[in-house]
Structure 1
Amino acid sequence: MQENKLSGERWTGRERFVSVGEVRLWAEEFGDPGHPAVLLVMGAQAQGVQWNDGIVRRLVDGGRRVIRYDHRDTGRSSTVDFAVRPYTVADMASDALAVLDAFGVERAHLVGASLGGVIAQLLAVAHPRRVLTLTVLSSQPLGTDTSAAVRRALAGDPPKPGELPPPKLELLAALTSAFPGPEADVEAYLAARLPLWRVLHGSVLPFEEDEYRAMERRVHERTRDPRAALNHALAGAAGVDPALDPASVTAPTLVLHGTEDPMFPPEHAEATAAAVPGARLVLIEGMGHTLPVALDDRLAGEILGHTARGEREVGGTDEDDREVGGTE
């Protein structure tokens, strides 16, 4: 069954809202429901539609059923009063499971970018029976304390011995003015956002401003309150259960990372690959902490190859799922 359709440059799928308690999550499905499922998990402050349509199309053409969704506090999903109902990364992982359940998916290939890569690792540890393969994109090892490293960097203090490098200071400076309030019109919004994307993109690959401008216009159209997504930083600052060790991941794992990532320098990818047994590391020359359209085919091809290999390797397991602790 193929209900997806092209509308201009937008690849639209079958949409639904998923309820998680009082939270409603927007989600979208593409491809044949009988094909193996790929759940795309976006990063902090990012919407599901920021998984490029070109990546989605390529995965669908490669025989995958693709699902993407908006985290709470982004896009068309619910915004949350964090002071009243705080949540954690574990709660965001439970959201991902709720999306799979709503689409009737028992086991999925997980592809997580940035914070989404941490969420995907958490699920691979806590719910191994739900994960066919794991792809960690532009992320870091589960349990890394980035907030402490950022505080030291801002104070001008050197990293602790053995600590992974913090985000580039240029990026931290760009983040301070990148979240305009809901009263900002689209031009003011774009003026605040595009400098951040220039830094995130990196200085090696050509920066296609029109591409990022179109993406952020789409994001702006779907956003209830741009500042609500800052709650993700509060959720991440709480950390994750230290008992959730990436060394216990059993799913075949691919670590994809750009050589010019200013958020998580490549040492983070190397540490992730070292922490997850049998993980394969692929560094993409020139890529920063974004998903430029020019790399759609490369990224989708890596994911398709990894998921195909994983389907040949992975088998069922009787291992009990572990509890993912949360506040909700």
Structure 2
Amino acid sequence: MSRPPTFVPPPCARARTLRTARGDFAVLDAAPADGTAPRGTALLLPGYTGSKEDFIAMLEPLAAAGWRTVAVDGRGQYETPGPPDQQAYEQDELARDVLAQAEALGAGRVHLLGHSLGGQIARAAVLLDPEPFLTLTLMSSGPARVAPEQQEKIRLLSGALTVMTMDGVWQAMRALDPPEDAEETGAAREDLRHRWLLHNPAQLLATGRRLSTEPDRVDELAALCPPPAVHVISGVRDDTWPVSLLDAMAVRLGARRTLVEGAEHSPNTDRPEETAAAVAHFWETWDTGNTGEAGDTATTTAESGAAGQNRD
């Protein structure tokens, strides 16, 4: 679970409803504060048990760099309601939601970024129709199912969701927290609890099952013609997908690869400014006025608020 530093949007962002052909979605819509036209628009998809607030600390630095960013709660996530039927959360359904969201933004082709589960949904959307997207950024999102330890955690959570209330599951999860998480302030803990209670259990069950069974679709993505410009970004440690696996995926895709120093599975909350700088640098390469060059496989590190340094 990503733990955003706050659930209060920065001044550059407004919470609103994005109305699409497939329903309404809660979003945080951030743009340059001085009212200038943005350089482009990006759609940000959160991970399993997460929400649009997982990107909240990235919104201001991205707006300062000139970008409009729209972070979304997918169906059944936090402030976007969803039905009780698990079939409504099959990956193709969620991918079609993303296509509808991109169209509803009214910004032409957009940059697409997904964290963890959101990255696999983003990949599925691009495989359905790559045309709406300028680039695809996979943030801490691997090529196939999650690591065995994470599969076991999802199995236990799914079992609990079938016999306990959402509040009961929350209390059980908190009892297993490491000591450092138990030191969170009351307000931060209550925000996380409130988010959890609004998640739809059917969404958690369906997407958790998908995370545990996701096939390797990297070759499908690489085979698109023309192939999308892809950025693989992660922390230097990750217990959901081994970093070496993310490295290999980037090579298979001919993707840009960024490692964020000091970050683990959630660079968006662990090191948001460094992560935002790396993401903005990639988008600049593929701006609407600059087609860039495909096959940029160089690995860079993002540290001390700057991105793009050679790793070696």
The answer to whether the 8 Å contact 1:123/1:131 transfers is: no
Q: CA separation in 1, counterparts of 2:175 and 2:277?
A: 28
Residue number in structure 2 paired with 1:16: 17
The Cα shift of 1:310 comes to 1.4
Task: Give unmatched runs, 5+ long, in structure 1.
Answer: 1-6, 147-165, 200-206, 316-328
Residue number among 245, 250, 255 corresponding to 2:232 in the alignment: 255
The Cα shift of 1:224 comes to 2.7
Q: Does 1:37 align with 2:41?
A: yes
Residue number in structure 1 paired with 2:25: 25
The Cα shift of 1:230 comes to 2.5
Q: Does 1:218 align with 2:218?
A: no
- In structure 2, the CA distance between the partners of 1:177 and 1:60, relative to structure 1 (3 Å rule), is same
Higher relative contact order at CA 8 Å, sep ≥6: structure 1 or structure 2? 1
The answer to whether the 8 Å contact 2:119/2:138 transfers is: yes
Q: CA separation in 2, counterparts of 1:69 and 1:62?
A: 20
Amino acid at match of 1:295: R
The answer to whether the 8 Å contact 1:74/1:226 transfers is: yes
Residue number in structure 1 paired with 2:284: 308
The Cα shift of 1:28 comes to 2.6
Q: Does 1:58 align with 2:38?
A: no
| Cα deviation code 1:236-279 (max 9, x no counterpart) | 56757969802135232211122321111113312321221x31
Q: CA separation in 2, counterparts of 1:44 and 1:55?
A: 19
TM-score by length of 2: 0.73
TM-score by length of 1: 0.70
Q: Does 1:230 align with 2:213?
A: no
Amino acid at match of 1:227: P
Q: CA separation in 2, counterparts of 1:291 and 1:177?
A: 24
Superposition CA RMSD, Å: 3.5
The answer to whether the 8 Å contact 2:90/2:206 transfers is: no
| Cα deviation code 1:185-233 (max 9, x no counterpart) | 8xx836624846x59xxxxxxx666569755532433443453322212
- In structure 2, the CA distance between the partners of 1:39 and 1:243, relative to structure 1 (3 Å rule), is closer
Q: CA separation in 2, counterparts of 1:239 and 1:171?
A: 11
User: Which stretch of the first structure deviates more once superposed, 71-80 or 12-21?
Assistant: 12-21
Give percent identity, aligned residues only: 21
- In structure 2, the CA distance between the partners of 1:8 and 1:107, relative to structure 1 (3 Å rule), is closer
Residue number in structure 2 paired with 1:82: 85
- In structure 2, the CA distance between the partners of 1:129 and 1:8, relative to structure 1 (3 Å rule), is closer
Residue number in structure 1 paired with 2:107: 105
Q: CA separation in 2, counterparts of 1:171 and 1:260?
A: 18
Q: Does 1:281 align with 2:282?
A: no
The answer to whether the 8 Å contact 1:171/1:263 transfers is: no
